[in-house]
Amino acid sequence: MKLVYFAWVRERIGREIETVALPQEVETVTDLLTWLKGRGDGYAAALEYPEVIRVAVDHEHVEHEAKLPADGEVALFPPMTGG
């Protein structure tokens, strides 16, 4: 699974992209956020309030209840401030 991060999520985690092998029990977006949070201080800081994190799978917004695809690009970012 390819993970990409943006804005302060990227800054706190300290990287913009990584490839991870997810454990089998990580099935949903919520599972992914919980699992990532335990990977180190940067992740814990970025995902302290997981409910505010927005997630996209293959360039489309998804809800936290959504199932993760077997493979693909998952993006984590703060609420958007464009326009």
Partner 1 sequence: MAERCQPLVRVEAEDFDIAAEIDRLTAGRKDVGAVVTFTGRCRDESGRLAALELEHYPGMAEAEIGRIADEAVERWPLTGLTVIHRFGKLRPGENIVLVVAASTHRKAALEAADFLMDYLKSRAPFWKKEHPAGGEEGRWVEAKTEDEKALGRWGKV
Conformation bin of residue 10: beta by default, left when phi > 0, alpha when psi is -120 to 50: alpha
φ and ψ of 77, to 5 deg: -160, 165
Count of residues in contact with partner 1, rule CB under 8 A: 16
Counting contacts by CB under 8 A, is residue 2 touching partner 1?
no
Residue type, 78: P
57: tokens are: 């799978």
63: tokens are: 């809800």
Counting contacts by CB under 8 A, is residue 53 touching partner 1?
no
What is the contact mask toward partner 1 in residues 64 to 83, using x (rule: CB under 8 A)? Answer: -----------x-xxxxxxx
Nearer to partner 1, 19 or 24 (CB): 19
Nearer to partner 1, 42 or 78 (CB): 78
Counting contacts by CB under 8 A, is residue 38 touching partner 1?
no
